[in-house]
A and B are shown apart, each in its own frame.
Chain A
Amino acid sequence: MRKVKHTRSLVTTLISMRIAGGLVLTLLCVPLLVPGSSPGKDWLFVGVQFNKVMVIDCQRDEVVGEIRLRHRIPVDMIVSPDKKYLYVVTHQKQSLEVVDISERRVIDSIELSEGQRERRIFGLAAHPNGRTLYLHVKTTVRLLDELTIEPPRLVALDLTTKKRHTVTEVPEGISRLVISRDGQRLYALGREVLTIDTASEKIIDRRPLYTRLPDGSRLVDVFHIYGFEDQSGIYSVPYYAQAGDRPRFGLLLLDTVNKRLRFVDMGEPVLMFSTVIAPDRRYAYGVLHEVVKMDLVRRRIIKTTPHDRIHYTLNISSDGQKLYVAGAGPEVDVFDTQSLQLLTSIPLPGDVADAYLRLITLP
């Protein structure tokens, strides 16, 4: 309930901002303390079939190295808070591999399945303390004559001791985890947004998503598939809604800095699988059949570039100048964020099937 109010007030604020014009605009665009704003050099990590993470130097936009994984098919990947490690989910989501970024090799792996229990990771988040990894785990139990399940749960993994404990059970349907920048709140996203207090390990708020949104439209679909909060600190995914008889689409934004959830209507639906928020927090980009640039303040699409390939996922450079787009085929396509023109296409040795692009800025 409290959350709903928050969102409402935010929407009202945003509307008033439009009226107030320039002043509020600048306020909104003040870059917050996000990793993208620190100077350094960008590196892109992308998982490819069947068992590699490719390292791309974003100055040259070239592959400069590869990391061999222990299992096949990387499907999810996050970066440690100190940017020293990559946590890569492989082996049909049953293994977690720890990659040392500077050494470019797997230094450890954690196998979740054991005995008759197959455990799979559907979403993970790293606590800023650098020790705790939160995993959303779904378990299939193979009995002699029956397949059954255990309730999905959030699990805290202590990376130093490798001990795991259950934080809480969660309803079916959670697919992404996001943690607030200060580490106090863990968000589990699916058909609803669950807010977990990391200190007490209790669910402190549940906000259903398939319902009426603050602007009165009804949400009919939201794609918590490739959502992430790199660069801007804002997790974003596209949603689709119905306002009376008008179909709408917009972005669900979860700000990990000020811990706010909001919905930004973007107008008539354009199908996209995933979106990314620019470091300046003013623009957003989306991708599927085309590359789309959106203005979060004016709340509309401002540019679209048709593309002859289908792409599922994307990321943005720390200076906000370049978009890295991939998913499905064996390449990363690089676009200029001003012109939305294709700058180059970086060939990869395998398909980027279900992987996620991680962009890290290192000094």
Chain B
Amino acid sequence: MTKMVYRGLKLVIVLLVSAGVLGLTDGRDGQAKGPAILAKCAVCHRPDERGRLSRIAFQRKTPEGWQQTVRRMVRLHGLSISVDEAKAVVKYLSDHQGLAPAEVRPIAYDLERRDIIERIPDEAVRSACVRCHSFARIAAQRRTAEEWRKLKTFHLALFPTLVYQMRQIDWPTVADRAIAYLAEHYPFNTEAWRRWPKTTEIAGRWMIVGHQPGRGDFFGDVDIRSLGNDHFETRQRIVFVDGQRIERTGRAIVYAGFAWRGSSQAPDGPKIKEVLHLSEDGQMLVGRWFQAAHDQIGADVTLYRKTRRPLVLGLSVRSLRAPASRQRVTIYGANFPSTLTSDEIDFGPGVIVHRIENRQSDELSIILDVRADAPDGQRRVRVGEALSHAHLAIYHRIDYITVVPSLGLARLGGIKMPKQHQQFEALAFTNGPDGLPRTSDDVALGPVSAKWSLAEDTTDPNDDDVKFVGTIDQSGLFTPATDGPNPARRKSNNNTGQVWVVATYTPEGAEPPLTARAKLIVTVPRFIEWEIR
């Protein structure tokens, strides 16, 4: 026993020394000696003749992926490590053996906690692997062929009952095919990672454009101040188009030079998590903010680096109906010159800007008319020489609405586990030149404030799910009922079920109202929450 401990200790010391001599070597090509921080790992993960720690040096993953692995080392293998040490390990490994922006992009949805229906490129992977967890958990890794193979054995060893769960397929054989596919398409060494510089300047002032389903568009800016070591402090101001203003302060860590993981909070608001990724040109941070406690409630956000140049971010409206007169529209942006005149603001044919009513360097309030002959369609808004990200759609009639997502998922909660809500949103469209709905020339007019209701999706004659699953409010937010058996239900069933979510909207002067619906599945809570689902 003492001998074992002693041997472990000697190894740690040796490693500490070599790390000290060699400094923090780059682990990108599996050449890592590992810094002092990996000494704890080296007790079990022995270095080879080139100093590469077994297993560890042959995998690359996201910060979430590394955290998940380190957690398992603690949970199953008795690694003892302090929170700060674990954070340092995850930081080091994500920087040196992370993913490149192009490798993260296809699976960013999982890190951003979006519940979507995944596209799985390979049939063997789908049937052998994407049964207990997402495809993203897999595609968010790069491994040597040998490390992919070890993953199969790992699953068989850790879950002896896996083959019984998967009994409808010959799992070991199908898994071999899946592993071969993964080894080919998700190799350890890639150009994308070799080329990625990993260091970019993120500190400074950024402009924000966001959309929170059920709530609306918002704009704003954020000051990002470096605390050193890829840690940052933030001060953020946003304004929703309905006028509500929010200020939040927060902190963030950037991994591998581009993966932003932050959290922020307004004095009286919920804690918000921020998962953003820097674009390769370094000019945009794109991702999602969501409530830490209810990650289904959140916003799509894009941050643009603030320069000296004027910038148009967006408008207080997504669309306007023709004809219209004396409409007030706010243009959000940055660096609007004080000399700007209404002639310099252009909304395309058929839209006449009368005057600038109110002028600030980041907000312009203007009055405009839309003529009856203004053609339907999207137009880009131009303000002087400003770089513009703003579009406005002109239409004469709303032809139909749709509900997104078309398939929703909510999870019961409130007793054992937190409720998982589902936010729906109704979007309006006009048919476009071909006069046909749901074709590629349709013009998207943005969200409308529909009336929301639930209806039974009858799957058997006694179906009564709609009475039990939960409720939807008038912002389209579905709140599931409580988890656990319900004595009021047949066989004391849980409040699970399958229903329709119905949106009804009556555009100005239109009759009858437009309706659209989406399917909603209300299921049991997620009892285990993983870093990557």
Residues of A with Cβ closer than 8 Å to B?
93, 120, 122, 138, 140-141, 144-149, 171-173, 175, 190-191, 210, 220-222, 225, 289, 308
Contacts and interface: CB of A to CB of B under 8 A. Distances in A.
A148 B170 contact: no
A51 B172 CA distance: 34
A175 B150 CA distance: 24
Given A145-B54, A147-B154, A191-B170, 20 more contacts: A93-B160, A140-B160, A141-B157, A145-B46, A146-B55, A146-B150, A147-B153, A147-B158, A148-B150, A148-B154, A149-B157, A172-B172, A173-B163, A173-B164, A173-B167, A175-B164, A190-B167, A191-B167, A210-B168, A225-B164
B167 A221 contact: yes
A311 to B, nearest CB: 12
Nearest to A141: B157
B371 interface: no
B290 interface: no
B358 to A, nearest CB: 65
Contacts of B164: 173, 175, 225
B492 interface: yes
Contacts of B168: 210, 220-221
B45 interface: yes
B167 A144 contact: no
Given A146-B55, A146-B150, A308-B492, A172 B46 contact: no
Nearest to B54: A145
B491 interface: yes
B44 interface: yes
Contacts of B156: 149, 172
A169 to B, nearest CB: 13
Interface string B364-400: 0000000000000000000000000000000000000
A248 to B, nearest CB: 16
B160 A144 contact: no
Nearest to B43: A144
Given A141-B157, A148-B157, A173 B171 contact: yes
Given A172-B156, A173-B164, A191-B167, A144 B172 contact: no
9 contacts: A140-B158, A140-B160, A145-B45, A147-B157, A149-B157, A173-B171, A190-B167, A191-B170, A308-B491
A49 to B, nearest CB: 18
A42 to B, nearest CB: 30
Nearest to B158: A147
Nearest to A208: B170
A214 B158 CA distance: 37
Contacts of B55: 145-146
Contacts of A148: 150, 153-154, 157
Which of B167, B170, B491 has the most chain A CB atoms closer than 10 A to its own CB? B167
B153 A144 contact: no
B462 to A, nearest CB: 12
A289 B153 contact: no
B302 to A, nearest CB: 42
A191 B166 CA distance: 10
Interface string B150-188: 100110111010011001101110000000000000000
Given A172-B171, A172-B172, A220-B168, A145 B492 contact: no
Per CB-CB distance, the 4 closest pairs between chain A and chain B, nearest first, are A147-B157, A140-B157, A173-B163, A172-B163
Nearest to B160: A138
A273 B55 CA distance: 41
A147 B162 CA distance: 15
Nearest to B153: A148
A149 B150 CA distance: 11
Contacts of A146: 55, 150, 153-154
B520 to A, nearest CB: 24
A115 to B, nearest CB: 14
A28 B331 CA distance: 87
Contacts of A190: 163, 167
Contacts of B492: 308
Contacts of A172: 156, 163, 171-172
Nearest to A309: B491
Interface in B199-253: none
Contacts of A144: 44, 46
B157 A120 contact: no
Residue from A93, A144, A145, A146 whose CB has the most chain B CB atoms within 10 Å = A145
B491 A149 contact: no
A120 B160 contact: yes
Most chain B Cβ neighbours within 10 Å, of A141, A149, A225: A149
B166 to A, nearest CB: 9
A289 B429 CA distance: 47
A148 B153 CA distance: 5
B147 to A, nearest CB: 10
A93 B160 CA distance: 11
Contacts of B54: 145
Chain B CB within 10 Å, residue with most, of A141, A171, A191, A225: A191
Contacts of B160: 93, 120, 122, 138, 140
Nearest to B53: A145
* Most chain B CB within a 10 A radius of its CB, from A138, A146, A175: A146
Contacts of A122: 160
Nearest to B168: A221
Contacts of B170: 173, 191, 210
Contacts of A220: 168
Interface in B488-511: 491-492
A85 B37 CA distance: 56
